[in-house]
Amino acid sequence: MLSLSANTVQRVEKLTSDRRETVFIFDDSMFERNRSKAVEMLARFKDHATGAFYKGYRMLTMGWSDGHSFIPMDFALLSSKKSGINGIMEGIDKRTIGYKRRQEAFLSAPHVIATMLDRAFEAGV
**pLDDT 10s digits, 10-49:** 888 888 777 888 889 999 888 888 787 778 888 888 888 8
Task: Please choose, from the candidates 76, 74, 71, the residue with its C-alpha nearest in 3D space to the C-alpha of residue 121.
Answer: 74
pLDDT number for residue 28: 87
Residue pLDDT, tens place only, 96-110: 888 888 888 889 999
Burial class for 94, CB neighbours closer than 10 Å (0-12, 13-18, 19+): exposed
Total count of residues recorded for the chain:
125
Domain with 23, as residue range(s), is 2-122
pLDDT at 86 over 90: no
Cβ–Cβ < 8 Å for 74, 120 = yes
Other beta carbons within 10 Å of 12 = 15
The count of domains in the chain is: 1
Q: What is the DSSP letter of 123?
A: T
Q: Does residue 114 sit in helix, strand or coil?
A: helix
Cβ–Cβ < 8 Å for 40, 32 = no
Has this prediction a pTM greater than 0.75? yes
